[in-house]
């Protein structure tokens, strides 16, 4: 898919069907995350790949539709490594979201609903205390058509030279 088509087609897809995701595609998505920009190039994160149904179900406790995902990539943040950790994990998540779109799969950036479950998920997945189980990307086949949520118009948000 052409780059600007990917940008336009990226959407939060919560209606997922299980699908076979070859390891090669998973690696392309992870590599897109690894290549994201980060403050001072500190790359303050690890990526956790979850493929087993039983483990996916644990994450689905945060949001039910995750059960239908065939893989979940979790960004584990390391706040001790960089003051810019939140921006850095966000850049990695966006890169991966775009890669998922380019490959024809669907995903949603899951963060808000993870918060309440973070402690138990950290325990289950052996995440050290000083790290954050911060963003999950459940990946599957889009089960229905859909489009990106409406965005504000450029003319409403762009100022030139002065606000």
Ligand X SMILES: Cc1cc2nc3c(=O)[nH]c(=O)nc-3n(C[C@H](O)[C@H](O)[C@H](O)COP(=O)(O)O)c2cc1C
Residue 124 interacting with ligand X (CB under 6 A): no
Map tokens 């149904």 to a residue: 53
**77, 89, 91, 110: which one binds ligand X (CB under 6 A):** 110
Interface with ligand X (CB under 6 A), residue total 12
**108, 133, 134, 142: which one binds ligand X (CB under 6 A):** 108
Residue 15 interacting with ligand X (CB under 6 A): no
Query: Please, what is the minimum distance in Å from the beta carbon of residue 43 to ligand X?
Result: 19
Residues contacting 148, CB < 8 A, separation 6+: 8, 9, 10, 11, 12
Q: Which residues bind ligand X (CB under 6 A)?
A: 11-12, 14, 63, 108-113, 148-149
């Amino acid at each position: 898919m052409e780059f600007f088509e990917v940008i336009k087609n990226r959407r939060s897809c919560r209606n997922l069907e299980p699908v076979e995701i070859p390891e090669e595609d998973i690696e392309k998505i992870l590599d897109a995350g690894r290549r994201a920009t980060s403050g001072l190039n500190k790359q303050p994160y690890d990526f956790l790949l979850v493929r087993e149904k039983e483990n996916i179900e644990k994450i689905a406790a945060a949001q039910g539709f995750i059960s239908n995902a065939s893989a979940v990539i979790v960004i584990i943040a390391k706040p001790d490594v960089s003051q810019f950790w939140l921006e850095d994990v966000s850049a990695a998540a966006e890169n991966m979201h775009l890669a998922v779109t380019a490959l024809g799969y669907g995903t949603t950036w899951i963060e808000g609903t993870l918060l309440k479950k973070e402690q138990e998920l950290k325990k289950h997945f052996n995440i050290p205390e000083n790290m954050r189980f911060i963003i999950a990307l459940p990946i599957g086949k889009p089960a229905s058509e859909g489009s990106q949520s409406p965005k504000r118009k450029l003319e409403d948000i762009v100022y030139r030279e002065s606000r």
